[in-house]
Amino acid sequence: MFYFGMVLRFASRLGWGWWTTACVVGVAVAVVYYHAVRRLGLANVRPFPVGLLAAYITIVLAFTVLSRKPVVLEKPLNLDAIGAIVSRLGFKSRRYEILFNIALFVPIGLLLSLVTGARPLHLVLLCTLFSIGIELARLLKSCGTCELSDVLCNMVGAGVGVGLGALLDRYSAIHHVEKKSGAHANR
């Protein structure tokens, strides 16, 4: 986090916003991970999804925690998840917040399922722990409300992403088998 703060200060001198800086740092992280995985010769690791995952996690952390300035809030902790979601559904402008929290974790779940191949439940739990970490960091840094509803929405998004990853994995396995059996039939 210290290095990201240094990069943000340097980028502000260049006139860049935090979003541009987060994207540049994310791409840099992706390139470093891609080359590290290729150099190490890890046969079971797909370097492109690993790089994308590293970049996306960097951007998510920049967007949710690192770019936010401390603020004094009347209620920094909200554990009423259902009440918060229902109240957000009542306001058109706040509905997007729910969709955003769901959509934010779809790529993480998808990329984790492509990279690790672990059980779907374990991946959703890992994403949930990451979301809890983000919310706790926001609480400790006083840069936003720590909300249980955000964790639930992130968990739904992670589940959607992991499900998409499982479908892609299954489709590629079926397609690979069909390709192989077609190659044997032509001999």
Alpha-carbon gap, residue 92 to 129, rounded angstroms: 29
| Owner of token pair 């046969």 | 43
pLDDT in tens, the chain (187 residues): 455 556 656 666 666 666 676 677 777 777 776 776 667 665 566 667 777 887 788 888 878 887 777 777 777 776 666 666 666 666 666 678 888 889 999 999 999 888 887 889 999 999 999 999 998 888 888 877 788 888 999 999 999 999 999 898 887 766 555 555 555 555 5
Angle at 102 between CA 99 and CA 108, to 5 degrees: 140
pTM (global) more than 0.85: no
CA–chain centroid gap for 39, Å, is: 25
